[in-house]
Amino acid sequence: MASRYVGQKIKRTEDPRLIKGIGHYVDDIKLPDTLHCVILHSIYAHARINSIDTEAAAALPGVVAIYTGADIKDKIGNVPVASALETLKVPPHPVLAVDKVRYVGEPVAAVVANDKYIARDALDLIVVDYDPLDAVVDPEKTAAGEGPLIHEQFSDNIAVTWKLEGGSSIDDAFKNADRIVKQRLVNQRLAPIAMEPRGVLARYLPGENELTLWSSTQIPHLMRTQVALMIGLPENRLRVITPEVGGGFGSKLNVYGEEALCSFISMQLHRPVKWIETRRENIQNTIHGRGQIGNMEVAVKNDGTLLGLKYKVIADLGAYHQLLTPAIPTLTGLMLSGAYKIPAILMELTGVFTNKVATDAYRGAGRPEATFIVERIVDVVAQELNLDPVDVRRRNFPKPNEFPFATATGLFYDSGNYDAALDKALEMVDYKELRTQQKKARDEGKLIGIGVSSYVEICALGPSAAMPAGGWESATVRVEPTGKVTVLTGTSPHGQGQETSFAQIVADSLGVDLNDVLVIHGDTSIVQYGIGTFGSRATAVGGTAVVMAMDKVVTKAKKIAAHLLQAGDAEISFDNGKFCCVTRAPEKAAAEGVGGAVVQSPAAALPEPNPGKTVSIQEVALAAHLANNLPPDTEPGLSATHFFEPKNFTFPFGTHICVVEVDKETGEIEILRYVAVDDCGKVINPLLVHGQVHGGIVQGLGQALYEEVVYDETGQLITGTLMDYAVPKAHQMPRMELDRTETPTDVNPLGIKGVGEAGTIGATPCIVNAVVDALSQFGVRDIEMPLKPEKLWRLMNQN
Amino acid sequence: MIPASFDYHRPTSIEETLSLLSKFGDDAKILSGGHSLVPAMKLRLAQPGVIIDIGKVPGMSEIRQDGDAIVIGALVTHYQVESSDLVKRLCPLLAQTAEQIGDVQVRNRGTIGGSLAHSDPAADYPAAMLALGAEITAVGPKGKRTIKADDFFVDMLTTALEPNEILTEIRVPATGSNKVAYLKVPQSASGFAIVGVAVNLTTNGNSDCKSARIGITGLSARAFRANGVESGLAGKALDAPTIKSASSKAADGQDPLSDIHASGDYRAHLARVYTQRAIEQALS
Amino acid sequence: MKIDGTHTINAPRDIVYRLMTDPVVLARCIPGCEKLEPAGENSYTTNLKVGVGTIKGNYTGKVTLDDVQPPAHYKMLVEGKGNTGFVKGSGIIDLEASGNTETLVKYEGDVQVGGTIASVGQRMLQGAAKMMASQFFTAINAEAEAAAKAEANQEPVKPPSHGFFRTTLRWLAGLIKGWFGRRSESQ
A237-265 confidence digits (pLDDT tens): 999 999 999 999 999 999 999 999 999 99
A267, A513, A636, A757, C30 from A624: Cα distances, Å: 43, 20, 5, 42, 85
8 A C-beta contact, residue A115 and residue A38: no
Determine the distance in angstroms separating the CA of A499 from the nearest CA of chain C, rounded to an integer.
Answer: 39
Is A343:A744 a contact under the CB 8 Å cutoff? no
Chunked mean pLDDT (size 10), chain B, 284 residues: 94 97 93 94 93 97 97 98 98 98 95 96 97 98 97 94 95 96 97 98 87 97 97 95 98 95 97 98 94
Cβ <8 Å between C118 and A712: yes
* Inter-chain residue contact C56 with B47, CB threshold 8 Å: yes
CB atoms within 10 A of CB B263: 15
A contact test, residue of C56, C113, C122, C126 with most A CBs within 10 A: C122
The answer to whether B119 and B159 are in contact (CB under 8 A) is yes
A794 contacts in chain B (CB < 8 Å): 266
- Closest-CA residue of A relative to C123 is A724
Alpha carbon of A727: minimum distance to chain B alpha carbons (Å): 6
The pTM of the full predicted model, rounded to 2 decimals, is 0.94
Report the gap between the CA of A662 and the closest CA in chain C (Å).
Answer: 26
Predicted pLDDT of residue B206: 66
In the predicted model, is pLDDT for residue A587 greater than 70?
Answer: no
Residue C85 contacts A, CB cutoff 8 Å: yes
Amino acid at A694: H
CA angle C162, C163, C167 (to 5 degrees): 105
Angle (deg, nearest 10), helices A418-429 and A389-396: 160
Tell me if chain C has a CB within 8 Å of the CB of B237.
no
Q: Which residues of C touch B255 (CB under 8 A)?
A: 130
pLDDT at A695: 96
Give how far A126 is from chain C: nearest CA, Å: 9
Which chains share 3+ C-beta pairs under 8 angstroms with C? Answer: A, B
Cα–Cα distance measured from residue A180 to residue A157, given in angstroms and rounded to the nearest whole number: 32
Residues facing B70 on adjacent strands? B65, B172
Residue type, B213: R
- Shortest CA distance from C170: residue in chain B: B154
CA–CA distances in Å: residue A25 to residues A244, A535, B151, C157, C158: 5, 23, 50, 67, 65
- Residue (of A115, A279, A27) closest to B43 by Cα position: A279
Is B38 an interface residue toward C (CB < 8 Å)?
no
Residue among A660, A657, A314, A694 at smallest CA distance from A495: A694
Is the CB of B262 inside 8 Å of chain A's CB atoms? yes
CA atoms within 13 A on the CB side of C157: 15
C-alpha span between A203 and A270 (Å, rounded): 8
Domain segments of chain B as ranges:
7-53, 63-173, 179-283
The single-letter code of the amino acid at A251 is S
CB pairs under 8 A between B and C: 92
pLDDT of residue A595: 43
Cβ contact A706–B1 (<8 Å): no
Q: Which pLDDT band holds residue A570 (cuts at 50, 70, 90)? A: confident
pLDDT value for A593: 44
Q: CA-to-CA distance for A666 and C49, rounded, in angstroms?
A: 40
Contact check, Cβ <8 Å, C119/A280:
yes
User: Which pLDDT score, from 0 to 100, does residue C58 have?
Assistant: 87
Does pLDDT of A607 surpass 60?
no
Separation CA C177–CA B152 (nearest Å) = 12
pLDDT for res A608: 56
- Taking each helix axis from N to C terminus, what angle separates B264-283 and B240-247, rounded to the nearest 10 degrees? 150
- Please judge whether C123 and A724 are an interchain contact, meaning their C-beta atoms are less than 8 angstroms apart: yes
> Model confidence over A131-182: pLDDT tens digits?
999 999 999 999 999 999 999 999 999 999 999 999 999 999 999 999 999 9
Residue-by-residue DSSP string for chain C? -EEEEEEEESS-HHHHHHHHT-HHHHHHHSTTEEEEEE-STTEEEEEEEEEETTEEEEEEEEEEEEEEETTTEEEEEEEEEETTEEEEEEEEEEEEEETTTEEEEEEEEEEEEEEHHHHH-HHHHHHHHHHHHHHHHHHHHHHHHHHHHHHHHT----PPP--TTHHHHHHHHHHHHHHHHHHHHH-
Beta bridge partners of A101: A47
- With CB atoms and an 8 Å threshold, state whether B188 touches A725: no
Give C-chain residues touching B155 at CB under 8 angstroms.
131, 169, 172-173
User: Which pLDDT value is given to residue C122?
Assistant: 83
Mean of pLDDT values over A617-632: 96
Residue C159, burial from CB neighbour count under 10 angstroms (0-12, 13-18, 19+):
middle
Closest CA to A212 of A526, A528, A490, A641: A526
Rg of the Cα trace of chain A?
29
The model's pLDDT over A499-532, given as tens digits with 9 standing for 90+, comes to 999 999 999 999 999 999 999 999 999 999 999 9
Residue B270 burial by Cβ neighbours in a 10 Å radius (0-12, 13-18, 19+): buried
> What is the architecture of the domain spanning C2-182?
2-Layer Sandwich (3.30)
Nearest chain C alpha carbon to A715: C114
Query: Which of A652, A653, A657 is closest to A426 using CA atoms?
Result: A657
Indicate yes or no: CB of A710 within 8 angstroms of CB of B43. Answer: no
Q: For A60, list phi and psi in degrees, rounded to 5.
A: -70, 125
CATH code that applies to domain B7-53: 3.30.43.10
The pLDDT score that the predictor gives to residue A592 is 46
Confidence of residue C159 (pLDDT cuts 50, 70, 90): confident
In the complex, which subunits touch B with 3 or more CB pairs below 8 angstroms? A, C
What is the per-residue pLDDT for A176?
96
In which band, very low, low, confident or very high, does the pLDDT at C170 lie, cut at 50, 70 and 90?
Answer: very low
Mutate to test the interface with B, among C171, C184, C186 (most CBs of B within 10 A): C184
Peptide bond into A272 cis (omega under 30): no
pLDDT at residue A2, rounded to an integer: 56
Going by pLDDT thresholds of 50, 70 and 90, the confidence category of residue C187 is very low
The hierarchical CATH code for the domain B179-283 is 3.30.390.50
Quick: pLDDT tens for A319-343: 999 999 999 999 999 999 999 999 9
- Distance (Å, rounded) from C-alpha A150 to C-alpha A44? 13
pLDDT at A73 over 60: yes
Give the neighbours of chain A: at least 3 Cβ pairs within 8 Å.
B, C
Write down the pLDDT at residue A154: 97
Q: How far, in Å, CA of B13 to CA of B54, rounded? A: 8
Out of A483-487, A565-569, A734-738, least confident range: A565-569
Q: Give yes or no for residue A120 having a pLDDT over 90.
A: yes
For the cut 60, the answer to whether the pLDDT of residue A609 exceeds it is: no
- Nearest-CB residue to B40 (from C54, C123, C172): C54
Q: Say whether residue C123 is in contact with chain A using an 8 A CB cutoff.
A: yes
Query: Pick from B103, B192, B266: which is nearest to A793 by CB?
Result: B266
The torsion defined by the Cα of A420, A423, A424 and A430, in degrees rounded to 10, comes to 180
Residue A494: what pLDDT? 95
Average pLDDT over residues A583-596: 48
Per-residue pLDDT band at A584 (split at 50, 70, 90) = low
CB B155 within 8 A of CB C172: yes
**Overall fold of domain B63-173:** 3.30.465
C131/B231 touch (CB, cutoff 8 Å), yes or no: no
Instruction: Give the start-to-end residue ranges of the domains of chain C.
Output: 2-182
- B27 vs A94, residue with greater confidence: A94
**Is residue C83 within 8 angstroms of chain A, CB to CB?**
yes
- Cβ C123–B259 below 8 Å, yes or no? yes
What is the residue-wise DSSP string for A101-154? E-STT-EEEEEEESSHHHHHHHHTT-EEEEEE------HHHHHTT-S--SSTTS
Instruction: Dump strand ranges (E) for B149-255.
Output: 153-155, 158-159, 166-173, 179-186, 193-204, 208-217, 224-225
CA–CA distances in Å: residue B216 to residues A244, B113, B274, C34? 46, 19, 10, 36
Check if C69 contacts A (Cβ < 8 Å). no
8 Å CB contact of B45 and C116: yes
| Chain C residues in contact with A716 (beta carbon < 8 A) | 112-115, 118-119
Q: Kindly tell me the sign of the dihedral angle through the C-alpha atoms of A546, A549, A554, A555.
A: positive
Using CB atoms, pick whichever of C83, C119, C123 lies closest to residue A716. C119
On whether any CB of chain C is under 8 Å from the CB of B263, the answer is: no
Query: b/e string for A696-733 if b means 16 or more Cβ within 10 A?
Result: bbbbbbbbbbbbbbebbebbbbbbbbbbbbbbbeeebe
Buried b / exposed e along B163-177 (16+ C-beta atoms within 10 A):
ebbbbbbbbbbbbee
Query: Would you say C168 and C135 are in contact if contact means Cβ atoms under 8 Å apart?
Result: yes
DSSP string across A14-36: THHHHHTT-S--GGG---TT-EE
Look up residue B104 and give its amino acid: V
Sheet with strand A669-679: strands edge to edge: A447-456, A653-662, A669-679, A736-740
Which residue in chain C has the smallest CA separation from B229? C184
- Angstroms from A277 CA to nearest CA on chain B: 9
> To the nearest whole percent, how much of chain A has pLDDT over 90?
93
In C, what residues contact B, Cβ < 8 A? Answer: 52-57, 83-84, 116-117, 120-128, 130-131, 165-166, 169-170, 172-173, 179-181, 183-185, 187
Please indicate whether, in this complex, the C-beta atoms of B45 and C184 are within 8 angstroms of each other.
Answer: no
Is the peptide bond prior to B67 cis by the omega test (within 30 degrees of 0)?
no
Quick check: A498 and A477 in contact, CB under 8 A?
Answer: no
Any A CB within 8 A of B5 CB: yes
pLDDT of residue C166: 44
Instruction: Number of A to B CB contacts under 8 A, please give it.
Output: 56
Distance of alpha carbon A57 from alpha carbon B218, whole angstroms:
41
| Per-position b or e across C46-64, b if 16+ CB within 10 A of its CB | bbbebbbbbbbbbbebebb
Examine the pLDDT at A597 and tell me if it is beyond 50.
no
